[in-house]
Chain A
Amino acid sequence: MEALEHEIHAPHRPAFDIPQVDVEERAARRSLRGQIARLEHELADAFVTAFTMGGYELPVARPGEPRLLDLGELERVRDELAERLCSARRSIAERADVQAENRLRLERMLLEPGKYRFVRIARRDVGEPGCGVWQVRPRLGLIGMMMGWWQVKLSSGCPLAGGCGLRPAAR
């Protein structure tokens, strides 16, 4: 192994001007930073939940550089995160309601397919992974349609990544 040199230097504190800050304001900023960390944690959980439902809206890009935020800026960050979390939860709740409705509809479709002719419900519409689709179709095609023989079929899933097979070689 090539010899490595590890130089250890003692920590050094340069003499920068340290502004005198109000103790109460510093405590308020610390509290806001704690709130921001908690909100970020909840937002991360919401992100994971929302991802399978199509995700949630991301913030508009704006330039930023790392800096010490004052009280007002920290409050703005906190409020923005709270708003984002609120919006994410609202969106999750709305999509969960839609999925619950779709699951109910699917159960009814399975019980009485004749009442839901040609209705399609995708797996993602009920919060399930994969590309399958439940569809009410007539058994034996036209004959089933005329005889009222309806059934629910689940399609076989996602299309193949490589397409439908080998293409004929170009000549």
Chain B
Amino acid sequence: MEEEFELQAALGFVEEAVAAELPGLRLAWVTVEGGRRKSPRAVSQRLEDLSNRYRGASVVALRSQPIPHAYRAFFHQIGLDPDISRIPIEEAAVARLMQGQFRSTNLLDDALLIGLIDTGVPIWALDADLVAPGGLGIRATVDGDRLGSTEHAHHLAPGRLVIADAQCVHALLFGDVAPGHGVGPRTGRMALFAVGVQGVPSIHMEEALWVCVEVLASG
């Protein structure tokens, strides 16, 4: 019998000035036990099945669907061009077309990918031990902010939108996770976070996290 569990994601903070400028921008996150490990056969099979959903015509039409459209519009609004810096679901869909299938890599990346494909909402993972107790959120950088917490972390220009906690910046919004802050071989707990924008219903964010946690639990 399959075991069911309830997932309650915490809402991250959004800096007041950012929320006023970009209403609808929000972050939901949850912590789960575990780190990187190999995907079981059932998960790679699920990815194979999902590969069949994405064909050329559906990928072309993807951007006219409500959730990809919401992310594409948001990208323009924050100075990114989605035709150059693709939104996560388009990035995954294009990779699917180029590689012929969604490739299974490891359980965590597969879970993030399945959550993304199922809902269109991107999810990222951090080493939860590096997240301050106050939790994650979105804010604009100020003078002196660095991406990451190591000595070699590079400085960020003021006004950049980032995923941060009260102590440090973990990632650029829709960008790469800071070096050393992602999930590594020694990670025992992961913080998964999804970013929603105006036009993306909250239920899709919860669903994305739920799917991701469900896949991780199956391993």
**Residues of A participating in the B interface, judged by any CB pair closer than 8 Å:** 1-14, 16-19, 21, 26, 29, 33, 36-37, 40-41, 44-45, 47-48, 51, 58-59, 61-62, 64-69, 73-74, 77, 81
Task: Report yes or no: A40 in contact with B73, Cβ–Cβ below 8 A.
Answer: yes
Q: Is the CB of B161 within 8 A of A67?
A: yes
For B7, the chain A residues whose CB sits under 8 A away are 6
Q: Which residue of A lies closest to B20 (CB)?
A: A26
The answer on a CB contact under 8 Å between B83 and A67 is no
**B172 contact from A6, A47, A65, Cβ within 8 A:** A65
Q: Are A68 and B31 in contact (CB under 8 A)?
A: no
CB–CB B189/A5 < 8 A: yes
Which A-chain residue is minimally distant from B60 (CB atoms)?
A51
Contacts A16-B139, A68-B161: A48 and B78 contacting too (C-beta < 8 A)?
A: no
Chain B contacts of A45 at CB under 8 A? 64
**Cβ B135 vs Cβ A41 within 8 A:** no
B79 contacts A67, C-beta separation under 8 Å:
yes
User: Is A12 a contact partner of B172 (Cβ separation < 8 A)?
Assistant: no
Besides A1-B2, A16-B139, A18-B16, 15 more A-B contacts (Cβ < 8 Å) are: A1-B218, A4-B33, A7-B30, A8-B10, A9-B134, A12-B134, A12-B135, A12-B137, A18-B15, A48-B64, A51-B60, A59-B81, A59-B83, A66-B78, A67-B159
A5 close to B32 (CB less than 8 A): yes
In the complex, the answer to whether A73 meets B79 with C-beta atoms within 8 Å is: yes
Q: In the complex the two chains form, what is the Cα distance from A21 to B159 in whole Å?
A: 15
CA separation between A62 and B79, bound complex, in Å? Answer: 11
A13-B13 in contact given A5-B33, A41-B73, A68-B159 (Cβ < 8 Å): yes
Taking a contact as CB atoms closer than 8 A, the residue among B20, B34, B175 that contacts A66 in the complex is B175
In the complex, what residue of chain B is closest to A12 when comparing beta carbons?
A: B134
> Considering the complex, which residues of chain B in the window 158-204 have a beta carbon less than 8 Å from any beta carbon of chain A?
159-162, 164-166, 172-175, 189, 199
CB distance from A115 to the nearest CB of B (A): 37
Residues of B within 8 A of A13 (CB): 13, 15-16, 137
**Contact in complex: B161, A7 (CB < 8 Å):** no
Say whether B146 faces chain A, with CB atoms less than 8 Å apart.
Answer: no
What is the CA–CA distance of A14 and B16 in the complex, to the nearest angstrom? 10
Contacts of A40 in B (CB 8 A): 69, 72-73, 76
Q: State whether the Cβ of B97 lies closer than 8 Å to any Cβ in chain A.
A: no
Which residue of B22, B79, B83 is within 8 Å of A65 (Cβ)? B79
Q: Is B213 an interface residue (CB 8 A)?
A: yes
Query: What 8 A-B pairs come out closest when comparing CB atoms?
Result: A12-B134, A9-B135, A37-B73, A66-B161, A44-B63, A66-B173, A1-B3, A44-B64
- Among A33, A47, A69, max chain B CB count under 10 A is at A33
Asked if B151 is at the interface of the complex by the 8 Å CB criterion, the answer is no
User: Does B92 make an interface contact (CB < 8 A)?
Assistant: no
Q: Are A66 and B84 in contact (CB under 8 A)?
A: no
Q: How far is the CA of A40 from the CA of B172 in the complex (A)?
A: 23
